[in-house]
Homo-oligomer: A and B are copies of this chain.
Amino acid sequence: MERKLLEFDVGESVELFLLIKSSVKGTASNGKPFLSLVLQDKSGELEAKLWDVSESDEASYAAEHIVHIAGDIQNYRGRKQLKIRQIRKATAADNVSAGEFMETAPVNKDEMAEEITQYIFEMKNANLQRITRSLLKKYQDKFYDYPAAVRHHHEFVSGLSYHVVSMLRLAKSISDLYPSVNRDLLYAGVILHDLGKVIELSGPVSTTYTLEGNLIGHISIVVEEVSKMAEELNIEGEEVVILKHILLAHHGKGEWGSPKPPLVREAEILHQIDLMDASMNMMEKALRHTKPGEFSERIFGLDNRSFYRPSFDV
């Protein structure tokens, strides 16, 4: 199997097709324009500079284009960087597509859909079950496509649904260990908690925030969606209030974006397992590229800490 971008060490030469994730023009100190590229394949991304670019270069090497590059992996201030020797735009003849270069959840969509369906099937409270099933159905295409965030954690294709699947498994384990937990509330909360992201974010590629994302946010968005769906399904009563609360409160604190702190047991649990799965994902990603006996890059979402990988962890 072919080696990927991040599998090369400093000093090695590479010859690869890569996807341009972003391309920003600058002016070098000699007054000439250059491009700062972020290039990626499924293994991750690296920065590269392209010097002395013409206007047609700018167009050719814009974001979302695929290029073929010959270059060298170098060390720049302790981080790997790609030094470009040769670059050309990929053509039809190269037979490559963007999807091949984007990280994707390690489980495929159908399996995830089947697993989530099973969790919904196990729910006993018909009101919670119907709202959950209907909302998921309404947004299912985006739900299985979108990342869970712009960066930091689960920031890959299908990251949103993969995050939900992992959390459902945690939710199940916890419900088994603490039997007084209301499994229906917890499952509904897990499945819907980040569903507002399908409106907050622009999509799976070059993800940015939409206007509603910036000004309203996925928490308020999903709460409103629950209300509308409940009305549509003629469901009234306390389940709707509690479900809305659980979603509203899942960031745990006002400072973190929740207008109410968790005031129902399952809201507190949802908040905790959301944190747990997100930190697992961030640590996994950082340590995957760290050698035993070394410290990882700093993880922004974990107070900017740098984690040590024990030398006996081989």
Contacts and interface: CB of A to CB of B under 8 A. Distances in A.
A259 to B, nearest CB: 5
A193 to B, nearest CB: 14
Contacts of A280: 178, 269
Contacts of A262: 305
A203 interface: no
Interface string A13-25: 0000000000011
A307 B264 contact: yes
- Residue of A26, A215, A305 with highest tally of chain B CB at under 10 A: A215
Contacts of A224: 223-224, 227
Contacts of A269: 276, 280
A64 interface: no
Contact of A241 (B216, B255, B259, B276): B216
Contact of A242 (B30, B34, B241, B310): B310
A260 B28 contact: no
A195 interface: no
Interface stretch (A74-82, A93-101, A111-119, A150-158): A74-82
A212 interface: yes
A231 B258 CA distance: 25
B217 A259 contact: yes
Contact of A25 (B49, B75, B263): B75
Contact of A305 (B74, B169, B256, B263): B263
A219 interface: yes
B180 A170 contact: no
Nearest to A256: B254
B215 A26 contact: no
A211 interface: yes
B27 A74 contact: yes
A303 interface: yes
Interface of A: 24-31, 34, 49, 51, 74-78, 81, 83, 125, 166, 169-170, 173-174, 176-178, 180, 182, 185, 211-212, 214-217, 219-220, 223-224, 227-228, 231, 237-239, 241-242, 244-245, 248, 253-265, 268-269, 272, 275-276, 279-280, 283-284, 287, 295, 302-303, 305-308, 310-313
6 contacts: A211-B238, A215-B308, A223-B224, A238-B311, A257-B260, A264-B310
Given A29-B30, A272-B279, 19 more contacts: A27-B83, A29-B49, A30-B51, A166-B177, A169-B177, A178-B280, A211-B241, A214-B263, A214-B308, A215-B248, A215-B308, A216-B241, A217-B259, A217-B260, A220-B260, A228-B228, A237-B312, A263-B305, A264-B310
